[in-house]
Amino acid sequence: MDVNIGVLALQGNVSEHIDAFRRALHMMGRGTSSEVFEVRHPGDLNKCDALAIPGGESTTISRLIEKNHLHEPLCTFSGGIFATCAGMVLMATYVDDVRIRTLGLIDMVVDRNAFGRQKESFEADIPIEGLEGGPFHAIFIRAPVAKWVGAGITVLSRMNQGVVAVEYGKHMALSFHPELSCDTRLHERFLKKLCDNNST
């Protein structure tokens, strides 16, 4: 089946997500029949089977979601959401910053800057539950973690600071930046699960 993937293009790693999903679709043999495009307005979501919420500055993205009248459409979006870094913050039910109005799509409590400031950014090879091919080389930039997750949330990976990767239904939320890697395994996993759900 064709898959149309939107990337929320308000702030953050937009072009990197577009490129990563195009590579993943190519690896899956769907590169000629699927589309990846920018999403800025509520009407754009109508064309999407899936949406990426990229990393960036979570308070800025939250403010721009409100400005572009996207909060309610995102909360009721029926497709899968692939959220990274700031995107993981926005997906939570609670975050430690009153400036952020979360989407509440994954029942978890998130600590925004669990690893410290920009200068504490780092890379690490981390195990991902059920991911074939060995550990994933993850890039953490002012990364959040989930300090608590609710029932029904699948924890894919955790570190000493907290949970860094989760799945819930069609959604995947990661505290790191897979779009900055050449490794498309997580994008492919997300798309495969989405396609499997849509075909049943």
**Residues classed as catalytic:** 85, 177, 179
CB 74 within 8 A of CB 101: no
**In this structure, are residues 42 and 74 in contact, taking their beta carbons and an 8 Å threshold?**
no
Question: Tokens in use for 55?
Answer: 């990393």
- Candidates 63, 90, 95; CA nearest to 77 is 90
Alpha-carbon distance of 141 to 196, in angstroms, equals 32
Three-class SS string for the chain?
CCCEEEEECCCCCHHHHHHHHHHHHHHCCCCCCCEEEEECCHHHHHHCCEEEECCCCHHHHHHHHHHCCCHHHHHCCCCEEEEECHHHHHHEEEECCCCCCCCCCEEEEEECCCCCCHHHCEEEEECCCCCCCCCEEEEECCCCEEEEECCCCEEEEEECCEEEEEEECCEEEECCCHHHCCCCHHHHHHHHHHHHHHHC
